[in-house]
Amino acid sequence: MTASALVFDLDGTLVDSRKDLLAAMSWLLGSLGYPIPKDEVIISHVGHGVRQFVKSCLPKSTGEDEARLESALELFKTRYGANLAEETVPYPGIREVLEALSKRGEAAWVLTNKPGYMARDICSALGLGDFLGGVLGAGDVPANKPDPSGLLEVCSRLDVFPSSVWYVGDMAVDVETSRRAGCKSALVTWGYGGEGLLREGSADRVLRRPEDLLSLGSS
């Protein structure tokens, strides 16, 4: 029995976008005269959408001021949007996995909290788009993860039952989204969540190598 579809998170799951995200956020904070946190602190805020990413990295007083937050958000989106794939790369083995899934006839989609147009541009620039049935992100679906509506939208477009779909991510929010949608969840350890997430023990499968993704189609 094969899975009806595999749906992937993007950042930290298919692509390593740390350097471009760090560069854009460091530029934003520096240009506004704010202190720049350590890299690992900045990256810890990735995964909940660009608005929350910017808000979490700004000083609390600025993040809670709607006008200042909106201004900072637009600056970040402009800077990051112009440099989406300068140093962003697929994780080793990911391109081969997606190609293998495509050859096997298995549907592979992306659902991310990153704005959809940015996610599509990244997948296109990195040559991943040819192996994906679709790429959806913020602005394409009713609400960001962990709201399950985006994942359910993918299931609807594929005309498959959620229970036959694997959602693959690298953070707790991905596992929660999968659960709420009624999908099966797989957690990868090479992304931004790391091995520490394993202690939370909530995913149906834990994958430590990209080639392990191929085993989901037979489970």
Active-site residues, by number, are 9
Give the angle 136-140-144 at the CA atoms, nearest 5°: 80
Instruction: State the pairing for strand pair 89-90/15-16.
Output: antiparallel
Buried b (16+ CB within 10 A) or exposed e, 14-31: bbbbbebbbebbebbbee
Chain position carrying tokens 């999908």: 183
Structure tokens of 149?
A: 């509506």
Distance (Å, rounded) from C-alpha 191 to C-alpha 140?
24
Distance (Å, rounded) from C-alpha 20 to C-alpha 88?
6
Distance (Å, rounded) from C-alpha 192 to C-alpha 169?
10
Distance (Å, rounded) from C-alpha 203 to C-alpha 38?
29
